[in-house]
Amino acid sequence: MWMSPKRSKMEVDETEVFRPEWTQRYLVVEPPEGEGALCLVCRRLIVATRERDVRRHYEAEHDHYERYVEEGERAALVERLRQGEVPEVAQLTPEERAARAGLGLARLLALKGRGWGEGDFVTQCMEVMLRDVLPDHVSVLDGIDLSPEITRQRVLNIDKNLRSQLFDRAKDFKAYSLALDDQAFVAYENYLLVFIRGVNQELEVQEELLTIINLTHHFSVGALMAAILEALQTAGLSLQRMVGLTTTHTLRMIGENSGLVSYMREKAVSPNCWNVIHYSGFHHLELLSSYDVDVNQIVNTISEWIVLIKTRGVRRPEFQGLLTESESEHGERVNGRCLNNWLRKGKTLKLIFSLRKEIEAFLVSIGATTVHFTDKQWLCDFGFLVDIMDHLRELSELLGVSKVFAATAFDHICTFELKLNLLQRHIEEKNLTHFDAFREVVDELQQNLQEDEKVFDPDRYQVVICRLQKEFERHFKDLRFIKKDLELFANPFNFKPEYAPISVRMELTKLQANTDLWNEYRVKDLGRFYAGLSADSYPIIKGVACKVASLFDSNQICEKAFSYLTRNQHTLSQPLTDDHLHALFRIATTEIEPHWDDLVRGRNESNS
């Protein structure tokens, strides 16, 4: 689809040419020989004139010159460097060092999900330590203010700095995709987390939180749509560059007539937009699929067991591994929703299944009902659920690996669909080779049944697998629509030109005949290979590469946010504004490092 020139062609930039704006941005000039970029600070020649190489040199060697941010200051700095005068790097004053330490501690408190008021406790701990170890340095704590109000403001300042950096990088996005996750529940409110994955001309991928939206205040799909468009506009992004949309498979997201996806696709339809690819199975694969597979409300029953264990069996040695796993997942304090979500994971169900005998004995000892352990149908459903969710866990772990590109993720999904076909045939034949827990239950039941008595009904479980197959087919339908584009991206030298659209055949033939490019393809990863591909010589293939690279290839950033939420549910449930919640989620999920000097200077300016 993307190889066919039905829509306006992606803009491409020449990656090997020096750009004048780099002089002020990265403090480099074009050398007299006309090749590479000459650093004005260290006089080193940067041979490869791609922006990422110039930027990496600047950030690694001369990032301290970010102090000069105003246009006039920057221009004066460049002029001084041209004349050979290298300004000395000003040392931080004691006040600035204290401010930087305070910012670092505020960020650490946010990352660990600690409350604003715990900054004072940190100060007390440091004071106790310094009095015994470095008594002469106790006074340094006097300049570090970790009061709740200051810590709260510092977290907001860090968020503002990170957001500004994201918006600067977004200007260079050639294509981007959005991921919408509506499964974030904080206290009694539901939030939509909006993530963005953008790619620049050098195929450098950036995954970040774009915004969070309070669904209590944006209940209608129209209000949600307006909030997302506002966030994109603030970031300087237009719908013309949006390639993909990945969501959860809730009705709010994928409802046929009233879902957010249909609204966004309708908004993105114009001669200058690309066809937006939508897929809805990446986020919370185990959690949401479990509702299709749990035919006998198994999880609800297990949830009641866990509550009893946490209240009356916490000291029992046989449950210590289970309780430790629970606390590592969502902390000591847990609400019902977090517990339910944890129990819907394949790993958790497998652990509980292995403890079923111990749980039955525990329930008997406290006088609780054990009727389920004598229900043949319920036990078979339990074993089947454990096995199917374990297979889904394996797929979810594969989809949790980032930086592999959507082509690889789609391969994992296709492989899993083939596995479902095999499992369905095995169930029909009553072959439980790949159903370990189910087979164990059946073997135990057969010992107590008559020889001709039926243990389980294969049709019951075939229906469940068939339902799961249809769901997968529906969720990833659009990825099949661009299957040729994904294959071209993953294996450009093995893709037969006669199967490609006429518009790309000439480029593909020329690419496959280039021995140098073939050698590069063999030794480089896909991202580095396409980054070095000339946009002038291969504009269509380069455009396909940028679009494919911008598609979300994993659920990693969403799982990172969800993990932060479940671990710190108690802290996040304290009274927080949406701005503060946004700041905490951004700090927890970002890969961008704050510009500390800018933050320190901003603090000093506000106090002056």
Average pLDDT, the chain: 86
> What's the pLDDT band for 266 if we cut at 50, 70, 90?
confident
The reported pLDDT for the residue numbered 501 is 82
> What's the pLDDT band for 205 if we cut at 50, 70, 90?
very high
Global pTM reads: 0.83
Stronger pLDDT, 340 or 333, i.e. the higher one? 340
Cβ–Cβ < 8 Å for 549, 530: yes
Cβ–Cβ < 8 Å for 39, 47: no
Stronger pLDDT, 501 or 28, i.e. the higher one? 28
Kindly give the pairing relationship between strand 28-29 and strand 37-39.
antiparallel
> What's the pLDDT band for 330 if we cut at 50, 70, 90?
low
Stronger pLDDT, 426 or 6, i.e. the higher one? 426
Is 512's pLDDT higher than 70? yes
Q: Indicate left, alpha or beta for 331 from its phi (over 0: left) and psi (-120 to 50: alpha).
A: left
Instruction: List CB contacts of 97: < 8 A, sequence separation 6 or more.
Output: none
Q: Which two tokens stand for residue 301?
A: 């029953």
| DSSP H/E element including 122 | helix 118-133
- Number of helices and strands in the chain (H, E): 29, 8
pLDDT single digits (tens) 86-123: 776 666 778 888 888 999 999 999 999 888 888 889 88
> What's the pLDDT band for 157 if we cut at 50, 70, 90?
very high
The reported pLDDT for the residue numbered 451 is 64
> What's the pLDDT band for 5 if we cut at 50, 70, 90?
very low
- For the beta sheet containing 45-46, the strands, ordered from the edge strand earlier in sequence to the opposite edge, are 28-29, 37-39, 45-46
Q: What is the mean pLDDT of residues 299-309?
A: 90
Per cent of the chain over pLDDT 70 is: 91
Is 388's pLDDT higher than 60? yes
Is 333's pLDDT higher than 80? no
Q: What is the mean pLDDT of residues 483-504?
A: 90
Q: What is the mean pLDDT of residues 336-353?
A: 83
pLDDT single digits (tens) 432-482: 999 999 999 999 998 877 665 688 899 999 999 999 999 899 889 999 988
The reported pLDDT for the residue numbered 364 is 94
Q: Taking every pair of C-alpha atoms in the chain, what is the biggest distance, in angstroms?
A: 97
Q: What is the mean pLDDT of residues 341-347?
A: 84
Range with the lowest mean pLDDT among 13-27, 131-145, 447-461, 540-554?
13-27
Find the angle CA(305)-CA(339)-CA(189) to the nearest 5 degrees: 140
